[in-house]
Structure formats: structure tokens, C-alpha cells
Amino acid sequence: IPRAGVIGNPISHSLSPKLHSYWLNRYGIEGAYTALQVTEDKLESTLCDLPGKGFIGANVTLPHKVSVLQFADQVTDRATLIGAANTLIFKQDGRIFADNTDGYGFMASLRQGAPDWDPKAGPAAIFGAGGAARAIIVALADAGVPEIILANRTRAKAEALRADFGARVSIVDWVQADKMLEDANTVINTTSLGMTGAQEFKVSLDTLSPKAVVTDIVYTPLQTPFLIAAAERGCTTVDGLGMLLHQGVPGFERWFGQRPEVDEATRAAVL
């Protein structure tokens, strides 16, 4: 049977095995999807061994999303631009194809959760400048968002993103991050703040328009204090689970030949 899995370390917390197993079952596809705990020193040998074990592809998660690029034979433009891959296809001739579907997942989730969202209606304000922010910036720029404003605790990382992604990106100091909300049409928290066990995400939403769409990539809890505060202002909010589910769609389709649905039943299956 065709196999796929998710490569990471640690990996026990990953929701991907539940997600893909649910889809395999739902569509009556004979296949398997498992969690693969792989340390950095074993990444290359694991990638060599998997096709021989029946694997047709894999997802890649922390800490391997960047380093996996060096072992891929073909990398999509967007994975190159983002500097990380999360979806691999093992070709029959042994070559590895690498893509990044995080930006796709973010955008599909946003459009599903906020169908009236208009990318061109105004700037996007992003908190954070890590790997997730990179994928989201690329997706927002592709969608036609006119201006992307970043605030990150470590300003140098935001500066590096501006150097990579160009003129549409501007930077606001972390301590003045609420300033970027004044004209924002889209607001995204890509930091780990607000996650269960992490520090609280403290930002004043006093200047935020109720017309703005607000999203968080954190999904434990689903309703972060940040999303709750935005909803109280009247904003449409989109939780972080949708991005995770949607980023799995292109891989599943490539591996198993069926484009899977992300709906309430899918959400319930992984929670």
C-alpha cells in the first residue's frame, strides 16, 4: 500500500497523522500515514530509505523544514522563496520533489473563514518574523495585498524579511506594534504568544477597524485571547487550525489522487 508520513522531531504532538488517516478512511483509499521521528543527523539517510519502504511522499515539520531543501532534487519557486519545504514527493526514479504549502494553507483557510475578505482593501499587519511569517508574506503578496507591515520582537529578523521580500514590506517596532493596526485590513499573529503554556499576547486593538479580518496561527487554544478580543471589536476572526488542515490538502492529493475536503467533520476528526 502507498505510504506517507510526517518527519519531525519531536513528532508526537503532530496532528497530521490524524488528519491524513481520517481522509484515507473517508475516501476509502488504501494507504497509510504515520509519524516519523527523525533527528537532524538521520534526515538524509531517512529520505534515502523511505521510498524503498513504500513511501510516496512526506510532510516535513520542525526542525527540518529548512534543512530538507538541501536533499531535494527539485524545489518549487515558492519553497525556494520561503526558504523551507513542508511537502515532499518521492518520484519513481528516486528523485525528491519539495514544495511549501503553508502559504496555500493560510490563504485557503482565510478565504474559507472570511469569504468576503478582499486582499486589495488595505494593508496586512503581521506579528512575528519566523518561518510561518515568511510563507504567509509570500501568499499575501501573491494575493495582491498592497502593503505588508511587520512587527517582530527581534527587529533584525523583520529587517531580513524585508530584504528578501522587497518594497511592499515595511517594519514597525515591536513596542509600537499596535500602531500598525490603524489602517490594517488583515491582521495575523504568527508568533507563539497566546499558545497554551506560552506568554500572553498583549496588544491593544483600540485602533483596529471592525472591518479587519483577524487570524492567529496558534490553534491551542482555538480561540486565543487575541482572537477573542478581535471578535469583541466586531472583526471576523479565523483560527489557526484551518491553516494546518488546508496545508495538508496538496500533499494528500498528489500522493493519493483525491483532493480532500476541509470541513467541520475534518476539524472534528483531528481535535
Contacting residues toward ligand ATR, per CB under 6 A: 128-133, 152-154, 157, 190-193, 199
Strand partners, 99: 87
Query: Does 102 belong to an annotated binding site?
Result: yes
Q: How far is the CB of 239 from ligand ATR (least distance, A)?
A: 15
CA–CA dist 28, 91 (Å, integer):
24
CA–CA dist 215, 88 (Å, integer):
27
Query: Does 94 belong to an annotated binding site?
Result: no
Cell numbers describing residue 204: 491593544
CA–CA dist 269, 257 (Å, integer):
21
Q: How far is the CB of 243 from ligand ATR (least distance, A)?
A: 11
Q: How far is the CB of 182 from ligand ATR (least distance, A)?
A: 21
Query: Does 26 belong to an annotated binding site?
Result: no
Query: Does 236 belong to an annotated binding site?
Result: no
Q: How far does CA 133 lie from the centroid of its chain?
A: 8
Please compute, for residue 108, the number of CA atoms within 13 A of its CA located in the half-sphere on the CB side: 19
Active-site residue, selected from the candidate residues 18, 53, 65, 91: 65
Q: How far is the CB of 122 from ligand ATR (least distance, A)?
A: 23
Query: Does 132 belong to an annotated binding site?
Result: yes
Which candidate, 105, 163, 111, 171, places its Cα nearest to that of 136?
A: 105
In terms of CB distance, is 46 or 189 closer to ligand ATR?
189
In terms of CB distance, is 29 or 98 closer to ligand ATR?
98
For helices 131-143 and 102-113, angle between their N-to-C axes, nearest 10 degrees: 60
Give me the residue label for grid cell 539517510.
45
In terms of CB distance, is 23 or 59 closer to ligand ATR?
59
65 is catalytic: yes
CA–CA dist 271, 89 (Å, integer):
27
**Nearest to ligand ATR by Cβ — which residue?**
130
Extract the annotated binding site.
14-16, 61, 77, 86, 102, 128-132, 152-157, 217, 219, 240, 247
Extract the annotated binding site for shikimate.
14-16, 61, 86, 102, 219, 247
Extract the annotated binding site for NADP(+).
77, 128-132, 152-157, 217, 240
Kindly list the catalytic residues.
65
